[in-house]
């Protein structure tokens, strides 16, 4: 019993010592110096305040507008009395990385007919939108850079994501859910580095594939709308792009919190440099043209008589087909036949190829391809990109299984006049 009492007294003495130390620390600012003047008050501030103040004004909203077709009831596609209207399809976040240039995720801008950057006024009451174009992008990396000539906001400083360490602070800023939560700040730590994350990605020609990227894992909250925003260090340097979060297991509905992924800024730097140093506007890559009619194709072919051609027979792919809608094959122009000794054969083009690009311009329809070729003369060379996969002929012409794999092949074709009337 005596030993027990002694233990209680010792414990009580320790508690009193801790409380005394705390009170002393808390009241040190109220102490009086020996000369009777009040001592300087110690003010403790957040380590994130200055960094947020420096960069928050450079984080903007990114609005993705797309053309939607309505019937007379205002729903779906339908038939009769159809109208089209451009409406805000999705929104995300972005960060100003150079004068007039905004960094974001590609999935934020994918499929847009119009892109706008949204900025909140100083009072936090109204939003102003600025027109912008898609300067450069990489679908596999899920990174895009927009050009907004009228945007007048300071650029953030780009950090070096290779210097990050597990345990470093991570400040994420973006616009979750809607404009109502514009400029939301969340804070956490770098939970892990070099996480290999596999995601489904659609390339600029409409083909979907699985892509594995290395990302930064943080526990700072990232929600829908944060995509494309900024992950900053405590010094205000942009270290990453918040991109995705885990919400549940693929195999169960188990809730998962605090597992969020950011693209390292070092991965995006080459695209930023390309955009600022004269990147081209490739926004049309997200759009799919309407299929041309047979009459239009025949008329376009007749116009090529006596002019330099490729020497191929072509057909359009149905944009509404399951294979195109699901991204199993790219949306382009199918090559059903290649003439012997033609410019196309000499360049290495084969039956079953799908032409997706000519001289850097996306090709969706036969008329687009024919028009592009018609702009050249005999002896001109054109660069044509095709998608090639073993078994494509059987899949397209005989209804066989869509081949797995495949690759994009770039061909250089020298045009010349061919007597037969084929493309």
pLDDT tens for 347-366 read: 999 999 999 999 989 999 99
User: Range with the lowest mean pLDDT among 38-42, 199-203, 315-319, 414-418?
Assistant: 38-42
pTM above 0.75, yes or no: no
Number of domains forming the structure of the chain: 2
The mean per-residue pLDDT over the stretch 96-103 comes to: 96
pLDDT at residue 180, as a whole number: 80
pLDDT value, residue 8: 39
Please check whether residue 6 lies inside any domain of the structure: no
For residue 17, pLDDT beyond 60: no
Among residues 138, 142, 297, 353, which one is catalytic? 142
Is 107 catalytic? The answer is yes
As a whole number, mean pLDDT of residues 204-213 equals: 80
Q: Which of 283, 309, 343 is the last residue of a domain?
A: 283
Whether residue 168 sits in one domain with residue 68:
yes
What's the CATH number where 325 sits? 2.30.42.10
Q: Which of 58, 93, 107, 297 is catalytic?
A: 107
Q: Counting every residue, how long is the chain? A: 423
Q: Indicate the range of 18-22, 86-90, 369-373 predicted with least confidence.
A: 18-22
What phi, psi does 324 have (nearest 5°)?
-80, -45
Instruction: Tell me whether residue 388 is in a domain.
Output: yes
- Local confidence band at 255 (pLDDT 50, 70, 90 cut-offs): low
Q: Which of 220, 251, 283 is the last residue before a domain boundary?
A: 283
Across 18-42, b (16+ Cβ under 10 Å) vs e yields eeeeeeeeeeeeeeeeeeeeeeeee
How high is the pLDDT of residue 75? Answer: 55
Residue 8 lies in a domain: no
What's residue 389's pLDDT? Answer: 92
Highest mean predicted confidence (pLDDT) among 88-92, 165-169, 327-331: 165-169
The CATH number linked to 194 is 2.40.10.120
Is 263 in contact with 143 (CB distance < 8 Å)?
A: yes
* Residues 258, 316 share a domain: no
Q: Is pLDDT of 420 > 60?
A: no
Question: Are 237 and 200 part of one and the same domain?
Answer: yes
User: Does residue 274 carry a pLDDT above 60?
Assistant: yes
User: In this structure, are residues 148 and 100 in contact, taking their beta carbons and an 8 Å threshold?
Assistant: yes
Q: Is the pLDDT of residue 149 over 70?
A: yes
- The catalytic residue among 91, 161, 227, 233 is 227
Do 292 and 243 have their domain in common? no
Residue 367 falls within a domain, yes or no? Answer: yes
Q: How confident is the model at residue 24 (pLDDT cuts 50, 70, 90)?
A: very low
Collect all residues with Cβ–Cβ distance below 8 Å to 411 and sequence separation of at least 6. Answer: 347, 348, 349, 383, 384, 385, 386
35-45 residue pLDDT tens: 555 566 776 77
Is the pLDDT score of 282 beyond 50? no
For residue 21 the two structure tokens come to 């130390």
Question: Is residue 13 predicted with pLDDT exceeding 80?
Answer: no
d(CA 33, CA 336): 93
- Tell me what pLDDT residue 153 has: 95
Q: Which pLDDT value is given to residue 72? A: 55
**Residue 256 binned pLDDT confidence (cut-offs 50, 70, 90):** confident
189 and 238 co-located in one domain: yes
Domain termination residue (choose one: 283, 300, 329): 283
CB atoms within 10 A of CB 131: 13
Task: Looking at the structure, tell me whether residues 338 and 369 fall in a common domain.
Answer: yes
* pLDDT of res. 36: 57
In this structure, are 150 and 259 located in the same domain? yes
Q: Are residues 90 and 108 in the same domain?
A: yes
Do 56 and 77 have their domain in common? yes
Indicate the pLDDT class of residue 155, thresholds 50, 70 and 90: very high
Please tell me the predicted confidence (pLDDT) of residue 202.
77
In a domain, 21, yes or no: no
Band (pLDDT 50/70/90 cuts) for residue 20 is very low
Q: Are 143 and 103 in contact, with CB atoms under 8 Å apart?
A: yes
Asked if residue 33 belongs to a domain, the reply is: no
pLDDT: is 130 or 15 the higher one?
130
Higher pLDDT, 149 or 292: 149
In this prediction, residue 177 carries a pLDDT of 78
Per-residue three-class SS string for the chain: CHHHHHHHHHHHHHHHHHHHHHHHHHCHHHCECCCCCECCCCCCCCCCHHHHHHHHHHEEEEEEEEEEEECCCCCCCCCCCCEEEEEEEEEEEEEEEECCEEEECHHHHCCCCEEEEEEECCCCCCEEEEEEEEEEEECCCCEEEEECCCCCCCCCEECCHHHCCCCCEEEEEECCCCHHHCCEEEEEEEEEEEEEEEEEEECCCCCEEEEEEEEEEECCCCCCCCCCCEEECCCCEEEEEEEEECCECCCCCCECCCCEEEEEHHHHHHHHHHHHCCCCCCHHHHCCCCCCCHHHHHHHHHCCCCCEECCEEEEECCCCCHHHHCCCCCCCEEEEEECCCCHHHHHCCCCCCEEEEECCEECCCHHHHHHHHHCCCCCCEEEEEEEECCCHHHHHHHCCCCCCCCEEEEEEEECEECCCCCC
Judge whether 296 lies within some domain: yes
Check residue 203 and give its pLDDT: 79
Residue scoring higher pLDDT (44 or 192): 192
Residue 108 sits in the same domain as residue 145: yes
Q: What percent of the chain has pLDDT over 90?
A: 48
Q: Which domain holds residue 225?
A: 50-283
The verdict on 303 and 353 lying in the same domain is yes
Please check the confidence at residue 12 and state whether its pLDDT lies above 50. Answer: no
Residue 7 domain-assigned? no
CB 69 within 8 A of CB 111: no
CB 43 within 8 A of CB 141: no
């Amino acid at each position: 019993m005596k030993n027990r009492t002694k233990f209680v007294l010792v414990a009580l003495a320790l508690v009193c010592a801790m409380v005394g130390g705390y009170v002393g620390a808390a009241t040190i600012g109220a102490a009086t110096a020996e000369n009777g003047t009040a001592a300087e008050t110690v003010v403790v501030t957040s380590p994130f305040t200055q960094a947020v103040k420096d960069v928050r004004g450079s984080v903007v909203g990114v609005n993705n507008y797309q053309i939607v077709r309505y019937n007379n009831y205002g729903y779906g596609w339908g038939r009769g009395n159809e109208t089209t209207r451009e409406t805000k399809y999705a929104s995300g976040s972005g960060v100003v990385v150079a004068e007039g240039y905004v960094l974001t995720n590609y999935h934020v801008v994918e499929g847009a007919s119009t892109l706008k950057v949204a900025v909140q006024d100083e009072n936090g009451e109204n939003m102003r939108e600025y027109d912008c174009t898609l300067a450069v992008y990489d679908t596999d990396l899920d990174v895009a850079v927009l050009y907004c000539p009228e945007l007048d906001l300071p650029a953030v400083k780009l950090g070096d994501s290779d210097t990050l360490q597990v345990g470093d602070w991570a400040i994420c800023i973006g616009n979750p859910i809607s404009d109502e939560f514009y400029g939301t700040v969340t804070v956490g730590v770098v939970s892990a580095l070099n996480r290999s994350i596999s995601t489904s990605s659609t390339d600029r020609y409409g083909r979907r594939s699985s892509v594995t990227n290395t990302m930064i894992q943080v526990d700072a909250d990232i929600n829908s709308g944060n995509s494309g925003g900024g992950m900053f260090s405590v010094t205000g340097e942009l270290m990453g792009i918040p991109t995705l979060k885990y919400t549940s297991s693929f195999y169960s509905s188990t809730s998962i919190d605090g597992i969020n992924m950011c693209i390292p800024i070092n991965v995006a730097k080459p695209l930023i440099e390309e955009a600022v140093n004269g990147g081209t506007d490739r926004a049309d890559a997200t759009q799919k043209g309407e299929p041309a009619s047979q009459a239009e194709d025949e008329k376009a072919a007749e116009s090529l008589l006596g002019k330099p051609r490729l020497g191929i027979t072509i057909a359009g792919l149905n944009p509404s087909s399951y294979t195109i809608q699901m991204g199993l094959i790219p949306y382009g122009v199918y090559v059903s036949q290649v003439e012997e000794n033609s410019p196309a054969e000499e360049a290495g083009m084969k039956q079953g190829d799908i032409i997706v690009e000519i001289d850097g311009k996306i090709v969706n329809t036969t008329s687009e391809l024919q028009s592009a070729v018609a702009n050249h003369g005999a002896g001109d060379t054109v660069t044509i990109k095709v998608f090639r996969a073993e078994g494509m002929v059987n899949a397209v012409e005989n209804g066989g299984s869509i081949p797995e794999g495949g690759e994009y092949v770039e061909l250089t074709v020298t045009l010349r006049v061919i007597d037969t009337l084929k493309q």
